[in-house]
A and B are shown apart, each in its own frame.
Chain A
Amino acid sequence: MTGTGVLAEARTPTRGLRRTSGAGRPAWSAFVVVVAVLVATPVLAVVLDGIGSVGDTAPPRGIVAMVLTTLALMVGVAAGTLLVGGGLAWLVTAYRFPLRNVLVWLLVLPLAVPAYILGFVFLSVFDVSGPVQSALRAVLGPDVWVPEVRSLPAAVLVMSLSLYPYVYLLVRAALIEQSAGTYDAARTLGAGRGRTLRRVLLPLARPSLAAGLSLVMMETLTDFATVQYFNVQTVSVGVYLVWKGTFDFHAATQLAVLVLLFAVAVLTGERALRGRARYHQQGGRGQGLQPERLRGARGWAATALCIAALAAGFLIPVLQLLVWAVGEAGKSGVLTDPRFGEYLVSTLLVASVTAVACVVLSVAVGHAVRISGGRIAASAAQLTTFGYAVPGAVVGIGVLIAFAAVDTALERAGVPGGTGILVTGSVLGILYAYVIRFLAPAYQAVDASLAKIPPTVTFAALSLGAAPRRILARVHAPLARPGVAVALMLVMIDAVKELPIVLLLRPFGFTTASVWVYELARENFWEKASLPALVIVTAAILPVVVLVRQARRAETRGRAAT
């Protein structure tokens, strides 16, 4: 195939290049393996612990129900985010309507509101003692029937509203990144606009859709705070229930292994959904997909749809938090807390270091996989993403176990006191655990971008004598830029919201906004928790703003180039 268009190598999947010569490539393979080992060690420590104690304790009662509930929740949230995220991505890409240019970016904002905060606000509004039901009772009498609020469907709704931006972002990026030539070719061959969308553009967006959905499902899998509000007992809830209820960490790790199996299923499903197809975009200039203008009522209907999603996932919860925060300030007479700034800084500092580290590693790993070829690197790269499917507290304990082992080894080797400093809880430990946990979203986003580079490009660079390092700097990294921007943002937001790891590993005197929320929320001081919750939302909005500005510039540049 030459010229513009798509290379769909369904029959002969190209896993990078077959190993030829060049001393650099085994080294790149080894690099991926080292990263994978570093990421997998703490997780593995926990898995071994779990497997080692199988048989000592009986599985908890109700395990089958937990597995089924987990399945139902994951499928439900996947469907929900597909509908909302995929639908909105298509809407803003294929059509023009009032306020579209602003809404395109605003629709990302629900990502800044952690699902557990959205869940709580949802309950405070819709639960028995909330304003909605109180009003209904006042109007229709005390026995009015209302749907069960603490239920699986409500949990699916709340989590879909909170997580849809993952799908939205990746699908939108995929639709935009597709070469104009592909679209033009289909149109030239006589396909209508709608048909081209359905038959060419959407299938080409499949890998990104799969990546987005797998992130959503893993996020759903490891959540334990939101689901508990809704009385939904997933396997992750089971991990905590067993751990805290029976005082048996080993029994809990067995369930954690079960969570991990779900993750393997998700990742396998993702690969199946991608199919063996590798879609690579080749250059080509042309008009590409021009959004169609929706006029009149249809245009405003589209606007209303976007605003509804934005309101449910962002505006209403933030407004409620603001109302609480102001009310609380009125009561105590203090508007700001002196700790506000300190916690914001430590939150952002840790989140940005994590984001940069994850992205640098992801680009390097993605590059290495393409340079070295071979299954080892590819499988090792897959391994680096498992941390996302392990509940945060389990990753944290894995890091503790690993650090303690290093400490013991050092002491044995004659270093007095070993690393002591590492074991006593440190920001370094937090960063390590964060990278383990959040390498997946970074790698998924970067890899989705890299996947569109035809191997022939890499091959051409190699055959022209470029060293792998040069290819990384001049070919792979620049071409992965859209993915890098998304990856930075996803990891930063995830890291800002993260709680169990920082709670477990933090040293004395180190507090983030999420810990602050936790300390208040745990004691049900929800009104007091609204201020720190707003700090989290603010901290999560910052990367969104940066990304939006960058993406806007890139799009303007792109338009100018064609």
Chain B
Amino acid sequence: MHPRPLIAATAGLTVLTAALTGCGIIGGQSADLQIYSARHYDLEGAFGQFTDETGITVEFISGDDAELLERLKAEGADTPADIFLTVDAGNLWNAARQGELAELDSPVLEDAVPEDLRDAQGQWYGLAMRARTVTYNPDAVDPAEFDTTETYAGLADPKWKGRLCMRDATSAYTQSLVASLIDLHGREEALKIVQGWVANDVEIMGNDVLLLEAIDAGSCDVGINNHYYLARTLAENPDLNVDLFWASQEGAGTHVNISGAGVVEGSDNAEDAQRLIEWLATDGQNAFVDGNHEYPVNPAAAPEPLIAEFGEFKRMPLNAEAYGDLNAEAVDLLAEAGYK
């Protein structure tokens, strides 16, 4: 490298950086509302419809919840974000606890969202609901084998030895299910349940779709899945040999979790932000949840046809504080039980 190439390289670098700046890629927002979203399913559709109806433009970036929350905290009052949209009640609870979400006073939302699916102070509101329940291969399992009162705990019974498949301990789904078991039964009892799964040689899978494929292939008899993965896989392959069983219907009900949103404390357009959340919880419910086969939180909205076929079910009331507060304990418990 002679002097000229070296200078050329430096000059080129400067020009490129300037080009990136010029493109407006270095910061700068163009829409009325900015959203940080840890939820990815076809947001464009719902937001596009909102813009058509109200004229308010929306842009979003997707990311991981924990990272986006740290970004919100670091940006503080200068944040460009107006809405924080995330998955898992524990994440919403945590964002509120860290003081990143503003308290809303919205009769519309209080009316649309059931009490346990929103924050008492109005810092966040659930908008879409997923159920985590038992799935099975009908060739290998008679649904009468399931414990109808304590279905999750019942899988610790030795009769399921070598027949179980579940998600990994790093999965938020596993953690919040175990957190709800701790909330329901106390730590000691919950530990026994998880130890029972481990003693049954539970096979750990890296994602829900693999789990469903394993049940379909017959290498597992029973798994625990989010209902929409089953719906999605069924939509692609109607012959999938997997059925759904609503857990604990004669007991506490099936474990559910939510996606939800809150207005960011540092928002400079809180009014429009609230309007969007209200729209998502009412007129926009189906646009927001149907694409991902989730249940609307608003009882006035109907679930889409494919999941309507799963039938109605009783859900375990959602205790966001327990999910959030007990999540750390769930992680610890899973490690103690040797659940990987």
Contact = CB atoms under 8 A, between A and B. Distances in A.
Interface of A: 60-62, 123, 127-129, 133-134, 142, 150, 228-229, 231, 233, 237, 240-249, 346, 349-350, 352-353, 356-357, 359-360, 363, 393, 396-397, 400-401, 403-404, 407, 417-418, 420-428, 431, 472-474, 477-478, 480-481, 484, 500, 503-510, 515, 519, 522-524, 526
B17 A428 contact: yes
Nearest to B206: A229
Contacts of B206: 123, 150, 228-229, 231
Interface string B327-340: 11011100110001
Nearest to B7: A473
B74 A245 contact: no
Contacts of A62: 335
Contacts of B71: 400, 425, 504-505
Contacts of A243: 66
B41 interface: yes
Given A248-B328, A407-B78, A522-B40, A128 B214 contact: yes
A249 B70 contact: yes
Nearest to A507: B27
Interface stretch (B181-189, B216-224, B243-251): B216-224
Given A150-B204, A473-B2, A508-B30, 19 more contacts: A61-B332, A123-B210, A128-B203, A128-B219, A397-B67, A403-B74, A404-B76, A421-B27, A424-B27, A425-B71, A428-B26, A474-B3, A504-B68, A507-B25, A507-B26, A510-B25, A524-B208, A524-B209, A524-B229
B278 interface: no
B79 interface: yes
B144 interface: no
Contacts of B28: 421, 507-508
B327 to A, nearest CB: 6
Interface string B40-79: 1100000000000000000111111111101100111011
A404 B74 CA distance: 6
A404 B75 CA distance: 6
B67 A503 contact: yes
A353 B217 CA distance: 48
Contact of A60 (B9, B41, B218, B331): B331
Contacts of A503: 63-64, 67
Contact of B74 (A233, A240, A397): A397
Report the interface size class on chain B.
35 or more
Say what secondary structure dominates the interface of chain B: helix
15 contacts: A60-B332, A129-B217, A237-B170, A244-B66, A245-B327, A245-B331, A246-B328, A248-B328, A360-B10, A424-B78, A424-B80, A426-B26, A428-B21, A504-B70, A507-B61
B12 to A, nearest CB: 7
A240 B29 contact: no
Nearest to A417: B78
Contacts of A474: 2-3
B13 interface: yes
Contacts of B210: 123, 127, 129
Contact of A500 (B21, B29, B60, B67): B67
B327 A241 contact: no
A474 B6 CA distance: 11
Interface of B: 1-3, 6, 9-10, 12-13, 16-17, 19-21, 24-31, 34, 40-41, 59-68, 70-71, 74-76, 78-80, 90-91, 94, 168-170, 172, 175, 203-204, 206-210, 213-214, 216-219, 229, 324, 327-328, 330-332, 335-336, 340
A138 to B, nearest CB: 11
A102 B65 CA distance: 46
Nearest to A128: B219
B75 A423 contact: yes
B74 A231 contact: no
A110 B197 CA distance: 39
A325 B7 CA distance: 43
Contacts of B67: 393, 396-397, 500, 503-504
> Which of A228, A425, A427, A526 is the most central at the interface, judged by chain B CB atoms within 10 Å of its CB?
A425
Nearest to B172: A244
Given A62-B335, A246-B327, A431 B17 contact: yes
A134 B218 CA distance: 10
B335 A509 contact: no
Given A353-B16, A404-B75, A61 B335 contact: yes
Given A396-B67, A473-B3, A509 B40 contact: no
B21 to A, nearest CB: 8
A382 to B, nearest CB: 24
Contacts of A407: 78
Contacts of A426: 25-27
Contacts of A526: 209
Nearest to A527: B236
Given A474-B2, A481-B1, A508-B29, A249 B331 contact: no
Nearest to A127: B210
A477 B40 contact: no
Contact of A427 (B25, B62, B332, B335): B25
A66 B158 CA distance: 30
A79 B63 CA distance: 35
Contacts of A507: 25-28, 61
Given A228-B168, A503-B63, A508 B80 contact: yes
Nearest to A364: B6
Contact of A519 (B1, B13, B62, B203): B62
Nearest to B28: A507
Contact of A61 (B60, B207, B336): B336
B140 to A, nearest CB: 11
Contact of B59 (A229, A240, A509): A509
A395 to B, nearest CB: 12
Contacts of B330: 245
A349 B172 CA distance: 35
